[in-house]
Chains A and B, each alone.
Chain A
């Protein structure tokens, strides 16, 4: 078995306040290259919270998240940001495309931030990514000119911009019709087959069933 891209060991996240809430309770899981994992569970069970912890957007109160074997809890905010930029791609339910930029410019944004290639090369890579997702003719359109399915594919292209080994998605088909959802599923499946690790939080049980692996979470605890 190849080395895990992502490993969470006893990860716990609590919200402090008048009434403390445990969002994620001692979650342990592992994802290898090529894994296509669906995290499911009822609303408020801690799916998204676990995803944010796995994606280094949030810090656990206990336990450790390893990314490609490296522990991440001791890293500074800027080191975690650098890891996210180079090794993790995010896709959200609401796409979160920047409205002032075209589809291609949105995709090029993380490439330009990483700064390893020129602006022109970044735009060329963005165009190629959009073409690979069937959006070659939408590259110059602004987000308001795109359909939901097209916007989500642009968001996926943006998540893949820096060629990360790990792709995390939070309800990526939540706002899409069945046809667009099926297309997004196919893209994730293809990416996993290409060797990327894909972890998707979803309510869509059909989507979850078709994923390679299922992780169910209830009240913050992974049950199977």
Chain B
């Protein structure tokens, strides 16, 4: 019976070539758009996350606590009747206590690279202009292994900091703002008023204007001296082999050492939530395209069932069962779906190829053209194909049920 049902379904489709082609186009465009837009969505998401992950440490351990420390009086008398107001905590030098031990503990975690950083605010002055920046005190070799800044050097290198204790590496945007060049000497003023002269030994460009304007790098010992914080670091930056594990590892580290450990996901929660919302919107739109195609199939099959009442009646009179006819009409939907997938996938791949070949120049990213990020995998093809087939089958099911319920006597009596 199956072959006969396929034959009946196929003949019905061939008998209405214009309608069939129009419906087929709906499914083909739906499947190809599904693939193209999902590849764009995933590609841009991947690219965005990669930039997010690469541009900042995977985990940043700072010299802060999530909950402020409890004062000694509160610890000694948690239910005391006397309240002591205006208690001033002891003034202490900020920074991670025993950062060498903390760093040692962090480095013992599997798949982890870490280095200590002392970050402070400073003013860079040059030729009468001044600019507020973040002064990052680093150990050049260690930092280069962790950060992508080393890969984004346009002039000089991070390594040059090791050879030149008074060297400073700045971003290309800052260099442009202050008209600075490699080899220029700049004055750096710390928040405590101390001033030191550094020579520019490197210029980087990450492509993120804010980062390239505000971040500067010098040797950690110079920052410690400039800020009167000897042997201190206020941040430990961590790079992971698997960035997706950042949240779990950050929680583990914080639980052990007590200092606030922020994963890149936690730092970018808003952005990731926006990304998730955008993904839902994208998939809703492309699913709607396929649903519209499915409604087309439903319409065609409803019309065919309506037009074919007499044929259905005679087939049932002959001895065909309701389920035979149901099968034939469901197969009609399935054939449309299969053909839509068979033509839609190559068309979607063609669209992806065209988009992948496109080069765009983005303001602020230099003159180098960039490619549109695309990402596709077997799962997307299965999803597009599966969704189209399920939608086609669902669209065919209701008319098929109607065909199965046709009462031959009522039709034959009216027809003769």
Contacts and interface: CB of A to CB of B under 8 A. Distances in A.
A170 B416 contact: yes
Interface in A86-104: 86, 90, 92-94, 96, 98-101
A112 interface: yes
B340 to A, nearest CB: 21
Interface string A166-182: 00001100100000000
Contacts of A57: 317, 408-409, 412
Interface of A: 48-49, 52, 55, 57-58, 77-78, 81-86, 90, 92-94, 96, 98-101, 109-110, 112-115, 119, 158, 170-171, 174
Contacts of B316: 81
A187 to B, nearest CB: 19
19 contacts: A48-B412, A48-B413, A52-B409, A57-B317, A57-B408, A77-B322, A81-B321, A84-B317, A92-B416, A94-B310, A94-B416, A96-B314, A96-B415, A98-B315, A99-B311, A100-B12, A112-B3, A114-B319, A174-B416
A29 B403 CA distance: 34
Q: Identify whether the interface residues of B are mostly helix, strand, loop, or mixed.
A: helix
Given A57-B408, A170-B416, A171-B416, A96 B319 contact: no
A84 B416 contact: no
A78 B325 CA distance: 13
Q: 9 shortest A-B CB distances, which residue pairs?
A: A85-B319, A100-B11, A96-B314, A84-B319, A100-B15, A81-B319, A58-B409, A112-B4, A93-B416
A110 B11 contact: no
A215 to B, nearest CB: 19
Nearest to A49: B413
A174 B321 CA distance: 28
Nearest to A90: B317
B324 interface: yes
A83 B319 CA distance: 7
B318 interface: yes
Nearest to A52: B409
A161 to B, nearest CB: 9
Contacts of B131: none
Contacts of A82: 319
Interface in B292-341: 310-311, 313-322, 324
B1 interface: yes
Nearest to A168: B317
Among B3, B317, B319, B321, the one with the most A-chain Cβ atoms within 10 Å of its Cβ is B319
Interface string B4-43: 1000000110110000000000000000000000000000
Nearest to A174: B416
Contacts of A170: 412, 416
Contact of B324 (A83, A84, A113): A113
Given A57-B412, A96-B311, A110 B319 contact: yes
Identify which of A85, A90, A98, A171 gathers the most chain B CB atoms within 10 Å of its CB: A98
Given A92-B314, A98-B311, A52 B320 contact: no
A93 B315 CA distance: 16
A211 to B, nearest CB: 19
A103 to B, nearest CB: 14
